[in-house]
Amino acid sequence: MKKIIFKGCGTAIITPFTNDEINFNEFEKLINFQIDNGADSIIVCGTTGESSTMSLEEKKSAIEFAIKVASKRIPIIAGTRK
């Protein structure tokens, strides 16, 4: 029998930018909104489109920040495509 890793609603969220930089204040609000409203996991740098234009450093920063903000409340699924 396979072990289920993720279940329920996994929400792909945008990475907000202001002046060509990640807007971490707004990003934190988006993450907390999803958690507060019942998301079972959050997908960062995944399928919302902007990840194809983000640098590797921006992706790392966004993923690390999301993990920190989520603080083990729900899983963070990281888009890792180059």
Q: What's residue 70's pLDDT?
A: 98
What whole-number distance in Å separates Cα of residue 36 and Cα of residue 47?
22
Question: Average pLDDT in the 56-61 region?
Answer: 94
Asked if the structure places residue 18 within a domain, the reply is yes
Asked if the structure places residue 74 within a domain, the reply is yes
Asked if the structure places residue 2 within a domain, the reply is no
What total number of domains does the chain contain? 1
Asked if the structure places residue 65 within a domain, the reply is yes
Asked if the structure places residue 29 within a domain, the reply is yes
Asked if the structure places residue 37 within a domain, the reply is yes
20-48 per-position pLDDT tens digit: 999 999 999 999 999 999 999 999 997 77
Asked if the structure places residue 5 within a domain, the reply is no
Range of the domain at 40: 10-78
Asked if the structure places residue 3 within a domain, the reply is no
Q: What's residue 82's pLDDT?
A: 58
What whole-number distance in Å separates Cα of residue 28 and Cα of residue 35?
11
